[in-house]
C-alpha cells in the first residue's frame, strides 16, 4: 500500500507543469484527500493533439517487439530520400501525461526534419506499463527500466532496418521522464548513439526505485559514477546536451547541472566559461561547455525563466513554453555537430 501511494505521488509530480504567470489552485488527490498535491498546470491550453502537418514527408505507425513486451511508435520520414540513401535518426521520448502525437505537436521536431532530411522516431509508453504514460526510468532494481530501454532500442533498430535510418547517426532526446529514459538508453547502449539530450530530467544513476526517484526529482539524489573509463567515454560514449529551466517546480533546477557534471567527470572534461545567449525576445540562456582533448563531452543550457516545459514548444500544447529558446533546434544542431565529428 505504501509503495502504491508513493508511485501515485511520483506520477502526479511528473505530470505537474509550471505556469509561472497563472498559478492554479491545488487539487486533492483521490487516493489521499488529506494530502493534496499541486494541480497539473499548463503553460498553454491543449487545443490540438495531432502533430502539425508537413508537406515535406510522411507519417507511419510501427510496433517494437522485445522479450519484455511491445511499444508503439510514430515515425516521420522526410520526402526526397534517394533509393538506398541512409538518413540520420532523432529519437524523441515524451514526458508523463503525453503520448507520441502530443509530443510531436509540442516539439515539432519533424518540421525541422522535413527541411534537414532526417527521420524522427517518437516511441510511445504503454498506459498498462504506467497509467500516466511515464517512462519507468527509475525502476532499475526491478529491471523494468532496462526492459523499456531495450524496447526503445528495438524501435531504433526497426527504423534503421526497414526505413533507411543510418546507425552511425542516431541521437536520442527526451523531456522529464523521457529525459531520464533517454539518458538510461544512452548509458546502456553508448555505442549506438552519437548524441543524447536531456530536457528537464534527472541525472543518470540518481534513482533506482520510486522512493529514490522522488528524492532525485527534488534535487537530493546522489549520482552514481557512470560505468565507463575516460578513454571509453571519448571513444564510444555520446556527447550530452542538458536543457534545464530555472523555474522548474517538478524537477529541481540543480538536476541539470548535476547531469552535465556527472557526464563530464566520467570523461574528465572541464567546464569552460559560461556564456550568455539571447535570441530576439525569447528567454535568455546560459551555456556552459565541458571539454576534454578539444572535444565537447557535455553542454549545459540553463534557462532561468523557464518552468517544467519544452523550451520553444507549441503554444497550443501542454508542457510547452513558446517564449523559450527553440529546444528542438538546439537538439538538432547539437546532434549535427556530433554526427560530423564521427564521420
pLDDT the model gives residue 36: 26
Domains annotated on the chain, with CATH = 2-10+54-342 (3.40.50.1820)
CA 64 to chain centre: 19
CA separation for the pair 106, 44 (Å, rounded): 11
Mean of pLDDT values over 227-242: 92
47 pLDDT higher than 50: no
pLDDT the model gives residue 145: 96
Mean of pLDDT values over 285-303: 96
C-alpha cell at 239: 556527447
CA separation for the pair 269, 321 (Å, rounded): 31
pLDDT the model gives residue 68: 81
Crossing angle of helices 144-162 and 177-188, rounded to 10°: 80
How much helix, strand and coil, in percent to the nearest 5, is found in the chain? 30, 25, 45
113 pLDDT higher than 50: yes
pLDDT the model gives residue 228: 87
1 pLDDT higher than 70: no
pLDDT the model gives residue 28: 29
User: Residue 178's closest CA among 331, 68, 19, 287?
Assistant: 331
135-150 confidence digits (pLDDT tens): 999 999 999 999 999 9
Instruction: Give catalytic residue positions.
Output: 176
- Among 22-36, 66-80, 243-257, 305-319, which is the least confidently predicted range? 22-36
Helix (H, G, I), strand (E, B) or coil at 147: helix
Percent over 70 (pLDDT), the chain: 84
5 pLDDT higher than 60: no
* Phi-psi region at 105: left, alpha or beta (left = phi > 0; alpha = psi -120 to 50): alpha
| Inter-CA distances, 87 with 101, 114, 342, Å | 22, 12, 15
CA separation for the pair 44, 313 (Å, rounded): 10
153-167 confidence digits (pLDDT tens): 999 999 999 999 999
pLDDT the model gives residue 6: 46
Total-model pTM: 0.85
278 pLDDT higher than 90: yes
CA separation for the pair 74, 113 (Å, rounded): 14
pLDDT the model gives residue 223: 76
Amino acid at each position: 500500500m505504501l509503495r502504491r501511494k508513493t508511485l501515485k505521488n511520483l506520477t502526479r509530480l511528473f505530470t505537474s507543469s509550471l505556469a509561472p504567470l497563472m498559478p492554479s489552485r491545488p487539487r486533492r488527490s483521490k487516493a489521499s484527500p488529506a494530502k493534496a498535491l499541486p494541480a497539473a498546470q499548463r503553460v498553454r491550453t491543449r487545443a490540438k493533439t495531432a502533430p502539425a502537418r508537413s508537406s515535406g514527408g510522411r507519417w507511419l505507425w510501427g510496433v517494437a517487439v522485445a522479450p519484455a513486451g511491445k511499444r508503439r511508435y510514430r515515425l516521420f520520414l522526410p520526402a526526397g530520400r534517394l533509393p538506398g540513401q541512409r538518413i540520420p535518426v532523432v529519437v524523441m521520448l515524451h514526458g508523463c501525461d503525453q503520448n507520441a502525437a502530443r509530443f510531436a505537436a509540442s516539439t515539432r521536431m519533424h518540421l525541422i526534419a522535413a527541411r534537414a532530411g532526417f527521420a524522427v522516431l517518437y516511441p510511445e509508453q504503454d498506459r498498462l506499463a504506467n497509467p500516466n504514460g511515464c517512462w519507468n526510468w527509475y525502476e532499475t532494481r526491478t529491471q523494468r527500466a532496462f526492459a523499456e530501454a531495450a524496447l526503445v532500442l528495438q524501435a531504433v533498430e526497426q527504423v534503421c532496418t526497414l526505413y533507411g535510418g543510418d546507425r552511425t547517426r542516431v541521437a536520442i532526446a527526451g523531456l522529464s521522464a523521457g529525459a531520464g529514459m533517454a539518458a538510461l538508453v544512452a548509458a546502456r547502449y553508448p555505442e549506438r548513439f552519437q548524441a543524447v539530450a536531456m530536457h528537464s530530467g534527472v541525472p543518470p544513476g540518481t534513482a533506482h526505485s520510486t522512493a529514490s526517484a522522488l528524492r532525485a526529482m527534488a534535487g537530493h539524489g546522489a549520482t552514481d559514477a557512470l560505468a565507463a573509463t575516460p578513454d571509453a567515454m571519448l571513444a564510444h560514449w555520446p556527447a550530452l546536451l542538458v536543457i534545464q529551466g530555472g523555474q522548474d517546480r517538478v524537477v529541481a533546477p540543480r538536476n541539470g547541472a548535476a547531469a552535465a557534471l556527472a557526464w563530464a567527470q566520467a570523461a574528465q572534461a572541464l567546464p569552460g566559461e559560461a556564456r550568455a545567449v539571447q535570441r530576439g525576445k525569447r528567454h535568455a540562456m546560459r551555456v556552459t561547455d565541458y571539454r576534454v582533448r578539444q572535444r565537447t563531452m557535455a553542454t549545459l543550457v540553463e534557462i532561468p525563466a523557464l518552468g517544467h516545459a519544452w523550451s520553444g514548444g507549441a503554444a497550443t500544447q501542454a508542457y510547452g513554453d513558446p517564449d523559450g529558446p527553440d529546444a528542438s533546434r538546439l537538439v538538432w544542431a547539437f546532434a549535427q555537430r556530433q554526427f560530423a565529428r564521427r564521420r
